[in-house]
Structure 1
Amino acid sequence: MSTSFHYPAFGIPRELDGLRREVRAFLGEASQGWSGWDIGHSWTGFDRAFSREVGRRGWIGMTWPKAYGGHERSALERYVVVEEMLAAGAPVGAHWVGDRQSGPLLLRIGSEAQKRRFLPKIASGEAAFCIGLSEPGAGSDLASLRSRATRVDGGWRLNGRKIWTTYAKNCDFMIGLFRSQGTAEADKHKGLSQYLIDLQSSGLEIRPIVDLTGEAHFNEIVFDDVFVPDESLVGRENEGWAQANAELAFERSGPDRYLSSFPLLPLSIDAVNAAGRADRLSARRLGEALADVVTLREMSLSILGQLAAGTTPAQEAALTKDLGTTFEQRLPELVREITDHAPVLTEGDTLSELQAYLVQSVPTYSLRGGTREIMRGIIARGLGLR
């Protein structure tokens, strides 16, 4: 990675500079040998050994109580670690969902037994989680899901399908949303429940979905009478819709929603300077990109404060996600405009390799975590426009 560009520390207290230097030193050593293709995966890079080392250093579950394997550090300390990892393109996928989403959900509404069983495993980097929300045929209307949980002796039987589940084939557990009462036609937002699912369960089949890059981050999961015990219910029965929406605020507002393409920026600055092409056009275009980063970062930090206060800033998170993914999708075109690096897999050319991966993958950024249209619908409702 570039050594001439340092991610700005606007809005973060100077007393956290020591932590930032510590994380950068670790990443400087760990990143030896990472190709541009590797860096481009960012938070979808799946490396269990890396996640275990991050857990050993106390950088997963940072804000959680020590009783559950956490470290009782501040939300801003966690933010510093997260943005440094993303800015470097670190392969955090094996612990990302658990740390960002599933762990906080269990900490907030999980049973004591669930907290003690799962949170320490997430914090140590041992347990990888995925999220089961989207379904075939439902489009972007999550609440119209038809996968069903049927009450049986000692628990539930799960039937149906989930799709676009990131790294399901590599993960240990899923928190899935199923219809436990009523029908989608009657009142689609009611009668939904969330369950903790062991991905080695009998009757469960995971089908990888190969994408344009030739890889298979996304998966379809088929549930054929999969049994989950009573203690697998997360929160309260039939209140899954509200729970899932609160969970999505964590997913849509973090720095991963504007930093997935960020490693292109410092590499582009280095390339422009090395080629002697630092003209007015490149200065203006790079300045605009940096201004966008700073603005999006302030928005994300604002939502972090609201989440820490126990609120659910759904509209704010949707706006940050919409603007952030738009920014991420623009960066490869910016590189094409101001440098002579083509998006090709040229061994040893980190910028070209990184650009090659992102050109193929950035179209998905406005789909994952909710489509752009859904985000704008949430924003419109928050403004009273629909």
Structure 2
Amino acid sequence: MSSILSPLNLAAVPAQDEALREPIRAFLRDALNDVPMVMRARGVCEADPHFSRKLAEQKLIGLCLPAEHGGGGRSYFSRFVLVEELLIQGAPAAAHWVNDRQTGPLLLRFGSPAQRDYFMPRMLASEVFFCIGMSEPDTGSDLASVRTRAVRTEDGRWRLNGRKIWTSNGHYSHYMCALVRTSGSLEDRHKGLSQMIVDLSLPGVTVRPIKDLADDEHFCEVLFEDVLLPADALIGEEGSGFKQVTSELSYERSGPDRIYSAMVLIEGWLAELRSIDNPGMAVTALLGRIAGRLAVLRGMSLAVAHKLDRGEHVDLEAALVKDLGTEFEQAVPGWIAQALELTHDHPPSAALRETLAYITQICPSFSLRGGTRQILRGIIARGLGLR
């Protein structure tokens, strides 16, 4: 615990990575010039393969992946800058998001040379897209309760049966990185779990989009019925899936994407607030609350990027950033609604009202992505030696 409570050494984006910001902004201004605010508020939940390919043409996918595998060979701070700008502008980046954020690093760390050679160039070019197969019905964030099972066949292949749920953009993806049980039973918990690459075009795979409260179809249910996977579908060592997926989730939980989900709404509100000469002390206090919390969370996320850049494990730190970050994200629409009530003499635009309504509808999901708060707090408690 002493290391967590030691004096804070603030990380900062190095100058060479900060220099990426303006070219990225210029690219996004051109790409998103005519996109309405409420559509940009959907941000990285929206999949646009054409946009992802344009980003790949700019060499902006895989910035911190090794150059020998086609990446940019830069530090984790470079991707931090990119992700900040994508989220603030509300870019429709969901198609390649999993590739860049976690599946690419996962394959580099645990994948075979053949898997890396085949998938990495295609992922970096946005020619193929991955989704994540973790959660299942009746298990949610308790990944040790996974029931989907892959069994070896006589010819060395894997026969896959089971079901995944809340699979973001499964209907746009070509492959799934799935956590499955390859030995043992449910009572074995995390023992016997492995990760597999699943080609979603194979016979026996069914992908069903699930509509949410906002009438979007980002989530999917994916069913596997006697799906035959090749022998080399296994990622890493058989039975090491839980360790691997914990490492993978650190990438998912630590970045600014667990802080900035409501940034298009914040930016839209600020743009209209600037036209009010004297919004009042209460509104100014709300603005200070948002800015203060955002600054602290950004500093925490930068510190995690610094640790990742040094090759350190960040399971505990990533869980803290994700837990506190989603708490902030979910509070933002309520704070802005309160601020708009306090400036009723200056009614908001229709675009801002529509964007506020959308974020209010969708914000309950912020604390579900990447693990529920209850699961995260269990990880935090264990990391601090409290359980």
- TM-score band (shorter)? over 0.9
**Do 2:62 and 2:100's aligned partners in 1 also have CA atoms closer than 8 Å?**
yes
Q: CA deviation at 1:139?
A: 3.3
**Do 2:37 and 2:264's aligned partners in 1 also have CA atoms closer than 8 Å?**
no
Moved more, 118-127 or 244-253: 118-127
Match of 2:163 among 161, 164, 170: 161
**Do 2:283 and 2:342's aligned partners in 1 also have CA atoms closer than 8 Å?**
no
Alpha-carbon distance change, 39 to 380 in structure 1, aligned in 2, over 3 angstroms: same
Moved more, 191-200 or 68-77: 68-77
The aligned counterpart of 1:6 is none
The aligned counterpart of 2:183 is 181
Superposed, 1:1-386 pairs within 5 Å as 11-152=12-153, 153-185=155-187, 187-339=188-340, 349-386=350-387
**Counterparts of 1:311 and 1:288, CA distance in 2:** 32
**Counterparts of 1:191 and 1:23, CA distance in 2:** 43
**Counterparts of 1:214 and 1:237, CA distance in 2:** 39
SS in 2 for 1:223: strand
SS in 2 for 1:385: coil
**Do 1:322 and 1:366's aligned partners in 2 also have CA atoms closer than 8 Å?**
yes
Count residues with an aligned counterpart: 373
Q: CA deviation at 1:278?
A: 2.5
Moved more, 119-128 or 165-174: 119-128
| Structure 2 alignment gaps of length 5 or more | 1-10
**Do 1:43 and 1:96's aligned partners in 2 also have CA atoms closer than 8 Å?**
yes
| Structure 1 alignment gaps of length 5 or more | 1-9
Identity %: 45
**Do 1:37 and 1:356's aligned partners in 2 also have CA atoms closer than 8 Å?**
no
Moved more, 251-260 or 291-300: 291-300
Normalising by the residue count of structure 2, what TM-score does the alignment of the two structures yield? 0.93
**Do 1:36 and 1:352's aligned partners in 2 also have CA atoms closer than 8 Å?**
no
Q: CA deviation at 1:15?
A: 4.1
Alpha-carbon distance change, 16 to 245 in structure 1, aligned in 2, over 3 angstroms: closer
The aligned counterpart of 1:4 is none
**Do 2:70 and 2:124's aligned partners in 1 also have CA atoms closer than 8 Å?**
yes
Query: Could you list the per-position Cα deviations for residues 135-161 of structure 1 after superposition, in whole angstroms to 9, with x for gaps in the alignment?
Result: 111133210111101001131011010
Alpha-carbon distance change, 258 to 314 in structure 1, aligned in 2, over 3 angstroms: same
SS in 1 for 2:259: helix
**Counterparts of 1:239 and 1:273, CA distance in 2:** 53
Query: Could you list the per-position Cα deviations for residues 64-93 of structure 1 after superposition, in whole angstroms to 9, with x for gaps in the alignment?
Result: 223322121222122111111111111110
Q: CA deviation at 1:338?
A: 1.1
**Do 1:257 and 1:320's aligned partners in 2 also have CA atoms closer than 8 Å?**
yes
Q: CA deviation at 1:116?
A: 1.1
Moved more, 35-44 or 155-164: 35-44
SS in 1 for 2:77: helix
1:98 corresponds to which letter in structure 2?
A: N
**Do 1:146 and 1:179's aligned partners in 2 also have CA atoms closer than 8 Å?**
yes
**Do 2:197 and 2:233's aligned partners in 1 also have CA atoms closer than 8 Å?**
yes
**Counterparts of 1:309 and 1:74, CA distance in 2:** 9
**Do 2:77 and 2:306's aligned partners in 1 also have CA atoms closer than 8 Å?**
no
Query: Could you list the per-position Cα deviations for residues 17-53 of structure 1 after superposition, in whole angstroms to 9, with x for gaps in the alignment?
Result: 4311101111111111211221111111110010000
Normalising by the residue count of structure 1, what TM-score does the alignment of the two structures yield? 0.93
Alpha-carbon distance change, 81 to 385 in structure 1, aligned in 2, over 3 angstroms: same
**Do 1:150 and 1:157's aligned partners in 2 also have CA atoms closer than 8 Å?**
yes
**Counterparts of 1:348 and 1:271, CA distance in 2:** 8
Alpha-carbon distance change, 28 to 349 in structure 1, aligned in 2, over 3 angstroms: farther
SS in 1 for 2:73: coil
Moved more, 230-239 or 32-41: 32-41
Alpha-carbon distance change, 89 to 341 in structure 1, aligned in 2, over 3 angstroms: farther
Q: CA deviation at 1:190?
A: 0.4
**Counterparts of 1:81 and 1:241, CA distance in 2:** 29
CA RMSD of aligned residues (A): 1.8
2:189 corresponds to which letter in structure 1?
A: K
**Counterparts of 1:164 and 1:270, CA distance in 2:** 34
**Counterparts of 1:106 and 1:17, CA distance in 2:** 27
Alpha-carbon distance change, 341 to 214 in structure 1, aligned in 2, over 3 angstroms: farther
SS in 2 for 1:263: helix
**Counterparts of 1:319 and 1:61, CA distance in 2:** 25
**Do 2:75 and 2:309's aligned partners in 1 also have CA atoms closer than 8 Å?**
no
Q: CA deviation at 1:206?
A: 0.8
Alpha-carbon distance change, 341 to 216 in structure 1, aligned in 2, over 3 angstroms: farther
SS in 1 for 2:274: helix
SS in 2 for 1:140: coil
**Do 2:48 and 2:92's aligned partners in 1 also have CA atoms closer than 8 Å?**
yes
Q: CA deviation at 1:166?
A: 0.2
Q: CA deviation at 1:259?
A: 0.5
2:321 corresponds to which letter in structure 1?
A: T
Q: CA deviation at 1:309?
A: 2.3
Q: CA deviation at 1:348?
A: 7.6
